[in-house]
Each structure stands twice: as structure tokens, then as C-alpha cells.
Structure 1
């Protein structure tokens, strides 16, 4: 169990560092030292080293700036490692120096240190790492939105269906080979005979990338509500997401690309959240 917790924690921390740290090497170094100290005081140095190695392999195999070279397979292998370590290695009796002072109570009883680390690792993984998994799934399915000449040309705006020419980005920020220079008219290219127009004032809300916030929050809520057995609330939340996105999906026309994009991304995100909840539940009852 402790191996799964440290692996998920190392992978999640690495993705948070490369997403938000201004200097990645400093962030990687600081995260590595903190994790090694945590493994040392909990008498689990070898599992933590294994977690750091797997985290480094994850950063290489699941890049954030381009499509994953190995596709969806790193996520599958990581899931097998996490499930296998929980099934074959239950919670330890002795947790080293930190186990002597560890005390965490809940309405369901005392929470062992190994279970707490597994829950923490699963929660951290649901933040940025799961975004990469969803992106890899969308890359593999090629569920790109069709070009709509009447849609907004801002790729970060809600409902936008046009990728900027040559930037290799789809509407949701997912790298795609289909975004070629001939798929849309460059914004900076002048049109012969067209009168010069003043540049409109940019709406600061147009660059809001809600998907990066909605996805992690959704998965965390799915995990918490599942563990709390609040299934009616969970079903209502998932249904509400579909209702909110229905107007955009209904403009899909005959291609069905928007519907596929929404369904694939949402289902993969929900499966990740449910899998994390099941992993913690299994560990708690093993």
C-alpha cells in the first residue's frame, strides 16, 4: 500500500512542479528531497525511491507540451502498479519514526499512516496528472472539433472550434496533428482589399482556461462522494455537467465531434476519479 501511495504522490508532485514551478529543476530537487525525507522517517525509503524513479519515467513518457510518445500506455501501467501494490502489500504494522507519533482519527476509526499516504497520493494525482491522462486519451481517439468559420478564433474561449494556424493546439489545449496551417486563416494575415480595422479590446475572461480547474475539482468530488457513499449527489453532479454542456454539444451538426470530445474526456475523467476512490476503499478494507 505504501508503494502505491508514494508512486502516486511522486507522479502527482512532478506534474505539479512542471506545470506551476517557474524553475523546474529547483522544483524537482525540492520535491525529491521532501519525498526522500518522508520515506526515511516512515521506514519506507525503498518504496519512495521506486516512486521517484517511476515519477521520472512518467515525466518522460507523458510530456505536457506535446502528444505522449507512448500514448495511453503509461497510465495503464501506472494503474497496474498501484492496484498490484495495494492488493499484494497491505498496510504495515510499523511505520518507522513517524508511526510512533502518528495519530489521525476519523468518524470511521483510526487512519493508518500508509492509508493516509495512499489517499494523499491519489488526491495529488487527480490534480494535474489526470489532466495528462485525459489528454492522452483524446489524442488517441482523435476526437477533434470541426472547424467552424463562424466560431470564435480564440482557442481558449468556451465553444471555440478553430485552432490558431500552425500552433498545433486544439480547442482544449490538446496537441493535435490535424491543426495544420491550411485549416484556418491566420489572424495576422492581411486580407487584400479589406479596410483596416482597429484591434478590439480583449475580454480578460476570454483566456480563462476553466478545464484545468473544472477537471481536477470534478475528480476530487467524484472521489470524495464515492467514498462517502453519496451516490445521489454524485449522479446529480454528473448530470448537471451534461446539462450545462448540452447547448454547445447541440450545435455539433452532423459530425458528432463535439459530443465525442465531451463524452471521451468526461468518461475518462470520471473513471480516474472512481478508480482512485475504489483504490482507497480497497486499501481501507483490506
Structure 2
């Protein structure tokens, strides 16, 4: 359950960061969303506050080391995504908070009319929500970090005499990369479809979806210059995006099965 809470916290925060222009509005939206998640976890599921504090601290670390800005990157690069992955694996091994839960959400689940919802555990439902939220915007940050490896041109800019901590330093603009139009919108839809179709066992449709994307992008890639930046951009970005979707589907399946 802690893994689901972590994904919900990160996913909701990144949606607020990408969808709200003002800094104050972002902070207010994130605080409200996180308070709602904490209250639902503690009062609705009966999880102790000190357990909920673990994913909250990890989500804060994610916010401190990532950015939703399209043309900038932070110094840690892909490290925050690796940290989230390791955290999820650790939660799968030793997290037992889903056992013996009690609260109004547990009571609602026990009396729910829908046979589909009642057949799934609360942990599986929470993981599904968390994976979906992460796949919408947070996965875009991971893909963007993978497409922009650390270089001398993207190291943090430190003004002379600056004593600001490393997590507040702003990275220099990322190196120019050929941008395939619509990728930021296509990616979330594609990932959600792959997750849903994979869980439904429609693997041939997933293969067709992946093939269709390559066909649609082929004219744009075939017109690429000698550098081949668009082809590399498409391949790396697509592979990372698909890997996130498959991993998300796998996490949901493991939670449902076990």
C-alpha cells in the first residue's frame, strides 16, 4: 500500500506542477492533494501516520530533484526515477500495511455493489490509481531525463558566491533535441492504453499499437538529417515510455495476484 501512496503523491504533484502556471497555485494544489491522500490513508485505511510519512518523504525528494519544465533538466537526471523504482521494489518485499486495514474506505469496499471492484483488493485498486497517475505526467519527466543525459552544458548553474543548497540550484538549459510534435500528449495516452491492454491480455493489440506508432512517425523520421537525432529521440523515448507502461502493468498484476 505504501508504494501506491508514493505513486499517487508523485503523480498528483506532477499534474499540479505541469497544469498550473503560478508557483503559489502549484504549492496550494500539491498541499491540498497530499493532505487528502494522507487523510484517506490514515482515516480511510487505518495506516499509521509514521508509515505514511515514508512515501511522503520520498515524494518530497522527487519534487526536489525533478522539474516539469520542458526545456530544462535538473542535475540528478534519471536518478530520481531509479530511486522510485527501488522504493517500489522495497515496498513489495516488506510492506505489510495492507494487512488488517480499517476505516471508512475499507467499510465502503466491503459493501460495494460492483462485482469488479469487490473482487479486487484495496491494495490493487490503490496501485492501479497510482500507476495511472504516474503514467500521465510523471513518466514524461522520466522519458525527458533519459533523452537528455548529463553533459557539461547541462550542469547546474552556480552563481559566484552562491550558497544555495544543491536541491534549489537550477540546471542550465538542456541541449537542443529534435522534438517530435505531440509526444507529450501522445505518451500518456499510449502508456495508459498499454497498461490497460496488457492487463486485459490483449497483447496482439499492444503490438499493433506499437507498430502503428512507428508507421505514423516514419515519414517524420525518414526526413531526418544526417545526424539522425529524430530517430534516436523516437527510439529512446518510446522504449523508455513502453518500459514504464509494462512495469506499471506488472506492478498492478503482482498486487492483484498476491
TM-score using structure 1 length: 0.73
Unmatched segments (≥5 aa) in structure 2: 152-170
Contact persistence 2:2–2:97 (CA under 8 A): no
For residues 115 and 236 of structure 2, the distance between their equivalents in structure 1, rounded to whole angstroms, comes to 36
Aligned counterpart, 2:34 = 32
Structure 1 moving runs of 4+ over 6 Å: none
Is 1:53 aligned to 2:53, yes or no? Answer: no
Unmatched segments (≥5 aa) in structure 1: 143-167, 170-174, 180-208
Contact persistence 1:62–1:68 (CA under 8 A): yes
How do residues 1-286 of structure 1 correspond to structure 2 at under 5 angstroms? 2-21=1-20, 22=22, 23-41=25-43, 42-44=45-47, 45-65=49-69, 66-89=72-95, 92-97=98-103, 98-103=105-110, 105-107=114-116, 110-140=119-149, 175-178=173-176, 210-286=182-258
Contact persistence 1:11–1:125 (CA under 8 A): yes
Structure 1, 249-258 or 124-133: larger mean CA deviation: 249-258
| Closer, same or farther: CA 47–217 of 1 in aligned 2, 3 Å | farther
For residues 177 and 255 of structure 1, the distance between their equivalents in structure 2, rounded to whole angstroms, comes to 14
C-alpha displacement of 1:48: 2.7
Q: Say which one has the larger Rg.
A: 1
**Structure with the higher fraction of residues in helix conformation:** 2
TM-score using structure 2 length: 0.81
CA RMSD of aligned residues (A): 2.4
